[in-house]
Structures are given as C-alpha cells and as structure tokens.
Structure 1
Amino acid sequence: MGKWVSATEKRSFLKWFLDNQQLKRKEARKVIEFIIHHFHILENAQFTEKIMLDRKTIVISSVGSDEPGFVYYFQQRKSEEVPTAIGDLMMNPSEKVNLIFHFRGKMENYRYLQLIEQPAIENIKQYAQFQKYEKEVNDLIEKISLDYEIALVKKQIDEALDQKDEELFKSLTGRLKELDVKSERIIGVAPSLP
C-alpha cells in the first residue's frame, strides 16, 4: 500500500516535530511521545495526508496551521480527546495507525516528505501543475487584455489619420509599438501590425 519507512526515520521526524513546532493542543505532545517510546506502535504508524475512516488516524497540528490541534479517528468515529487516543493505542499496539501532521512549510520539509505515502507526493506534483496552469491562464488573460488595448489604439490611430492629427498619430503609434513589445514578452507571439 505505502512505501516502507524505518522506525528510526519516523522517530527522528517525531522528535524533530516536538523540538521545532509549537502544538495547538499541548496535550497532543503526550501522544507523540507515547508513539516514540513504543516500538510496535511506531512500526505500525504510517504517515499520510488522507483520513481513512477504516483505519485509525491521528491528526496533529502546530500553531501555524489552520487545522484543528488534535483529532483522533477510529471505528468510524471522531474524538478530540487525547486520553482516548492513548488508551486505544495502549490496548491495540499492533494495529495500523495513520499519522497526519499539519504545520507551516510541511510541503517543503524533506523530513516530512520522505515519510508520507505516495498520494501526498502526487498532490505536490498536482499543485505544481496547477501553479503552471495558473501562470499560463494569467498570461493568456494579460495577452487578451493587451490585444483589446492594441485594437483600441489602432482604432484611435485610424481616427487620428481621418482628423489629420499628426501629433496624436505619432503618440498612438509609439504606444502601439510599446504594446506590441509587451505582447511579445508575455507569450512570445509575433507583434501586431498597425
């Protein structure tokens, strides 16, 4: 299902998280420490980004996150009580448990990224793709706006010619050249003809 991650790597991240993040719910520290000190639980812990209702899931957030400080999902239920999670982990140390951590900069944190299952990596790739699409769309919108402005300036140039207004004509052709250069830079298309 997921990639294999050693208990040492998991323990190392959990210790780093405790040392470097301020938890929203201070008592959530007890859950992390409990997991660190119990090898069987650590072995069966899996880092993920998805809540799976058919598997125990512990969600812990730091102060910089918008997510709730502590949530424990088990048997199709949800609890925000730390003792419930610890008690269940004590009673069933060999059951698989998912761990989800929310903290500022987690998608750039190599310690975290090496632990999470593949779907989260796919989310990162998808996010990067959406950023690329966003840039392309913004460039296209800017290009369309420029094309509209170019058409408007061309119309004004025609009117200036009809009125035999040489000063306005020169000013507008200069503006048209600026817009053409700007249009070229956005998408790399050939300049419009006057």
Structure 2
Amino acid sequence: MEQMVSNVQKKTFLRWILDRHLLTNREIIWLLHYLMSNDQLLGIIHIVDDVARCNRLITIAAPRNDGLVFRYIKATVETNDPEKAFHDLRMNQQEDVYLELDIEAVRRSPIYFSVLEENPNSAIDVHEKYGHMAEHATNEAERIFITERLNQAINEALDNGDETLFYTLTKQLNEVKKNNLK
C-alpha cells in the first residue's frame, strides 16, 4: 500500500526538523531549505525508513564519532558533500529521491510517521512495521490535546469562580492521567 504525502506535509516536517536545530551542518540546512522552496523537487522526495536498493538517495544522520552525517548516492556515484547533491538535485528533478533520516529524535516523533512512505524496493510494508508506533503516536497526541483542553477549561473555571465545574474538570483530568499510567 503506497502512501501519498503532500508537499505541504513534507514542508511541515522539514520545518519541524529545522526549528528543533537537530542538524548542525549548515550545508545540509541550506539543502533542506532549498527542498522546501522547490515544489517540483519536493514532489519527487520520498521520506523512507531505509534507503536500501534505491537508485537515488540521501541519508542524513545525527553527528557521530565517524563524522559521516550526509550521503548522496545516484546510481554508482556517491558523495558526502551536500553542495554536490544540491547541484545534481537542481539539474535532475524527474527521478525520485529517497530520503532517510537517521536521527533518533526524528524517528520517535509522530510527525515522522505522518510523512513516512514505503521504499518500493523493500519487502516489508511500512504500515506493518510501524503500525503500532503510529497508533501509539496518535493516542499520545490525543491525550496531550485532551489534557491541554482540560487544563485550559480548569483555569477558566478558576477565573470565573465556578467551583462545581472546577471539580468536575479536575476529576476528568485525573481520569485521563490515570488511564495514561495503565
């Protein structure tokens, strides 16, 4: 099952990464800004969990001891220079590019699962592999939303001096917290 991810979703995801300063290499940051500014190019970018056996790929990793944080491969040519990748991406905007982000904070985030697509060369279905994680991320997002809404309503009840509503909402908030611990 192939998932279609819109350019808006991809831009939001890339902006999320940049806003959290998860990358330190300025050339990689510039490359991501360029991807976000070019809709045609962004349309051929596919965010996958594994780029194995892809013909054209980019991997971006968190800084490690070996220093390898960026890799661009097109057929048999490989480079660690984001600037060379930029020039190739700028000149060839027809062939699909598969992007793997090997950054722990990204791979644990619900937004990552919203843009994750399948590698066409992989035998394992993304939904099979990450279905439980996506479900957990959805449940966590719902719990956070409900908690925030209840906290806001509790504050309003306090501001209005509505003691009955305050106790009712506090009881609901405690139930949400209790259910989360199970």
Q: Same fold (TM over 0.5)?
A: yes
Deviation at 1:104, TM superposition (A): 2.2
Give the distance between the partners of 2:12 and 2:64, measured in 1 at CA. Answer: 21
- Map 1:25-104 onto structure 2 (within 5 A): 25-63=25-63, 68-104=68-104
Residue 20 of structure 1 pairs with residue 20 of structure 2: yes
Aligned twin of 2:155: none
The runs of 4+ residues in structure 1 deviating greater than 6 Å are: 64-67
Q: Percent identity?
A: 22
The runs of 5 or more residues in structure 1 that have no matched partner are 128-194
Greater relative CO (CA pairs within 8 A, separation 6+): 2
| Offset of residue 75 of structure 1 | 1.1
For residue 114 of structure 1, give the secondary structure of its aligned residue in structure 2: helix
TM-aligned CA deviation for residue 21 of structure 1: 3.0
**In the aligned structure 2, how far is the partner of 1:52 from the partner of 1:63?**
21
CA distance in 2, matches of 1:106, 1:67: 19
Query: Is residue 5 of structure 1 aligned with residue 5 of structure 2?
Result: yes
- The RMSD of aligned alpha carbons is 2.7
| TM-score (ref. length: structure 1) | 0.57
Structure 1 CA distance for aligned equivalents of residues 63 and 19 of structure 2: 14
TM-score normalised per structure 2: 0.60
- Cα gap change, 1:15 to 1:74, in 2 (>3 Å): same
In the alignment, the residues of structure 1 paired with residue 38 and residue 65 of structure 2 have an alpha-carbon distance, to the nearest angstrom, of: 27
Q: Is the 8 A contact 1:53 1:75 kept in 2?
A: no
Task: Name which one, 1 or 2, has greater alpha-carbon Rg.
Answer: 1
Give 1:82 shift. 1.0
Unaligned runs of 5+ in 2: 119-124, 134-182
Q: How far, CA to CA, are the matches of 1:120 and 1:66 in structure 2?
A: 29
Cα separation, 1, equivalents of 2:66 and 2:2: 27
CA distance, structure 2, for counterparts of residue 33 and residue 27 of structure 1: 10
CA distance in structure 1 between the aligned counterparts of 2:64 and 2:10, rounded to whole angstroms: 22
Q: Distance in 2 between matches of 1:64 and 1:116?
A: 24
